[in-house]
Chain A
Amino acid sequence: MSIETLKICGIVILLAPLAGAVLAGALGPVKLHGRSHWPAILGVAAAFIAAIVLFGQVRSAPAGETAAAVSVYEWITNGTDAAFTVDFLIDPLTAIMLLTVTGISLLVVIYSRDYMREHGSPLRGYERFFAFLALFVFSMCALVLSGNFLLLYLGWEAVGLCSYLLIGFYYGRPAAAAAAKKAFLVNRVGDFGFGLGILLIYFTFGTLEYGLVFQMVQEGMTGVGDALTNGRITTIALLLLCGACGKSAQLPLHVWLPDAMEGPSPVSALIHAATMVTAGVYMIARCGAIFTASPIAMTAVAIVGGITALFAATIALAQTDMKRILAYSTISQLGYMVLGVGVYAADSAIFHLFTHAFFKALLFLAAGSVMHAMGGIIDIRQFGGLRKILPWTFLTFMAGSLALAGFPLLSGFFSKDEIIHHALTVHPVLGVLGLVTALLTAFYTFRMVFLAFYGPQRVPEGVHPHESGKWMLVPLVILSIGAIGAGYVNIEATGRSFHHFLAPVFEHTFAAASPAHAAAHGVAATAHAGFWTEYGLMIISGGLAIVGILAAYILYMRQDWLPGLIRASAPRSYRTLWNKYYFDEVYDAGVVEPARQTAHVCVGLDDYLIDGLLWLVTAIVRGIGLLLRPFQSGMLQGYALSMVAGIAIIVLLVFWA
């Protein structure tokens, strides 16, 4: 692949959405108004085309030369040794991520054209939305394309900023503004650890370039030539994990994602399902060298992922807001991805990321379509039987739900299955947790489907539901095709092309470490298990999905007095699940309140201490003025007295000293 082509593709991918954002933001309010979506759509489309070209370039590269570091320009330098460049690292992982990001973004932007028309906010809502959305695409692409930790951090923070701007899009609503603040601040906690990790990397290795750092890690050397200690690399890995927890909404920093549903549905689809939240997974996959060098960190990653997956699934069982259910489902699926990376199955994790992007974005956009039809209401207790009223929405929603639940032969089935398989090999407990989570996932997904789309037709007061327009439905259909068929790129029949494509990225890191790890634990590790083991697992997980769907069918379609009975018989458990395990309340009391009290103390300090010092300065000046003012009485004799006193003193000094 030619470096020049890659460079041009990379620059187009970055600058086209940015130009779209600037045009939409600058010209939108004055000239474009209702046509402000065009700069964004064109920019993201150009980026998508460039991503396809880039993908073609990487695909056609001969084996062994699939990675390229493309330097664009020197950014910061102190003239002698330290220099930070803007450079890209383009390899199969980058290509896959870019395709996913730009593709889903394009569909979401097209969808938003119709959606935001009715659900925009005053104060230039329409133009503002597209400007921020295009800015987000730019930031995410910068994050993915980056070839060093500095640009990664820049993209990381930029996506956090865009997330804040877009969650708080309806900034007139106090709930939305609070949710945006919460997202940004919780991300900040994670980013603090992440930043410390990057600083530690620079301090240890003397450089932030991926290639150099990973090489030094694999050699076990630091930048100055000393040996790399286990403690150091573990610390770095755990700090990076901190950042991933924040961005990918893992325990304990997951609290921002459900509240982020205050933003418009396209935002939830793009940012909080398909792209931004996957940045953490991407980062761990990219820094495989660092993580695999520390078994403790890998265990931590796996545990965090596995527990988060189960935990979020249990909460989703008791929620009644459709978007909240989907949000907790996202947290749970992200937990799967993190678990996948933690059990040395990074390619499976990226595969799940790929398929999850399709069906989760689809589900959110379809939920947006439902909201659109129901006049802004999304509480599944308030409507029902929408199957006949919104046929296309129902069909696409069903496709996405089946994929999410892991129904056999759909995309989610294949990707989830691989992760559980690897988990059972490395950490059996976590693998079992994964299976239980799969069952719960199917259950709560179809609880949502049956309550919303089946049963007697119920519509909220005064709402006239109508199916959405073409601009909204076409992306839904495209995404459902992807949700159904995306899994087929990786099955045996097509030669596991996805994994083969990604293999060069991970062969030195995850794939190499996995056998070593397995050997240390005395378990036979194979990339492809035996026929019966692998297909047996497929049957079990497929069966679990069907069992979950059936259970939901029975509870919500047949014996629909049963959920009420369960709720009444275990009220405390139900309340705990409904209140999300009281995480928000604990954080509020333990973190927010002390911060607020500290702020009060600081305000007091500012008012009394600092302003007091200022007052003291002015008081001194005023006092001196008060002392000196009588000397200027305007009375001639007073002045004469001062003069005589001066003469007397001088005479005394001259004659007597």
Chain B
Amino acid sequence: MPGIAEYLILGAILFALGLVGFLSRRNLIVIFLSTEVMFQGVVINAVAFARLHHHIDGQAFALFQLVIAAVEAGLALGMIVLLYRRRGTLDSEAWSLMRG
């Protein structure tokens, strides 16, 4: 029976992989996809803690996580479409107006 530790390690691994993807890929879509991978790690952690404490709160939290993820995906994709229309490219390096 895998204990809490294994689930937490798995959650950390998924979160970290998503983080690496967010930081290093240049395609705007893949960046947000990596964000979703981070969400998966968080969901695993939340549910694992729910099981640890014998509460349903963790799962409720994970449910609201899903809502947030959906909202974020919708808005992010809308923005990606806008940005693509502006510059004609999906490159994140095209947007460095805040430099200096």
Contacts and interface: CB of A to CB of B under 8 A. Distances in A.
Is A–B contact present in the complex under a CB 8 A cutoff?
A: yes
Interface of A: 629, 632-637, 640-641, 644
A636 B97 CA distance: 10
A635 B23 contact: no
A543 to B, nearest CB: 98
B100 to A, nearest CB: 6
A632 B100 contact: yes
Contacts of B98: 632, 634
Contact of A634 (B22, B23, B24, B99): B99
A266 B98 CA distance: 76
B99 A644 contact: no
16 contacts: A629-B100, A632-B98, A632-B99, A632-B100, A634-B95, A634-B96, A635-B93, A635-B96, A635-B99, A637-B23, A637-B24, A637-B92, A640-B22, A641-B23, A644-B19, A644-B23
Interface of B: 19, 22-24, 31, 92-93, 95-100
Given A634-B96, A636-B92, 19 more contacts: A629-B100, A632-B98, A632-B100, A633-B96, A633-B99, A634-B95, A634-B97, A635-B93, A635-B95, A635-B99, A636-B95, A637-B22, A637-B23, A637-B31, A637-B92, A640-B22, A640-B23, A644-B19, A644-B23
A540 B73 CA distance: 127
Nearest to A639: B98
A366 B19 CA distance: 104
A506 B84 CA distance: 108
Contact of B100 (A634, A635, A636, A641): A634
A636 B98 CA distance: 9
A640 B32 CA distance: 13
A635 B19 contact: no
Contacts of A637: 22-24, 31, 92
A265 B21 CA distance: 95
Nearest to B99: A634
A560 B99 CA distance: 96
Contacts of A629: 100
A633 B93 CA distance: 10
Contacts of A641: 23
A640 B22 CA distance: 9
Contacts of B24: 637
Contacts of B100: 629, 632, 634
A636 B31 CA distance: 11
A393 B61 CA distance: 121
B80 to A, nearest CB: 13
A629 B95 CA distance: 17
Contacts of B93: 635
Contacts of B97: 634
**Which 6 A-B pairs give the minimum distances between C-beta atoms?**
A634-B99, A634-B96, A634-B98, A641-B23, A635-B96, A633-B99
Nearest to B94: A635
A94 B24 CA distance: 97
Contacts of B99: 632-635
A256 to B, nearest CB: 63
Contacts of A633: 96, 99
A634 B93 CA distance: 9
B84 to A, nearest CB: 16
A644 B19 CA distance: 9
Contacts of A635: 92-93, 95-96, 99
A634 B97 CA distance: 6
A633 B98 CA distance: 7
A644 B18 CA distance: 12
A646 to B, nearest CB: 13
B18 to A, nearest CB: 11
Nearest to B22: A640
A644 B93 CA distance: 19
A633 to B, nearest CB: 6
Nearest to A643: B23
A625 to B, nearest CB: 11
A13 B93 CA distance: 86
A641 B97 CA distance: 18
Nearest to A633: B99
A635 B99 CA distance: 7
A637 B98 CA distance: 12
A641 B24 CA distance: 9
Nearest to B24: A637
A551 B19 CA distance: 116
Contacts of B22: 637, 640
B72 to A, nearest CB: 15
A399 B81 CA distance: 113
A644 B22 CA distance: 11
Contacts of B96: 633-635
B13 to A, nearest CB: 15
Nearest to B25: A637
Nearest to B98: A634
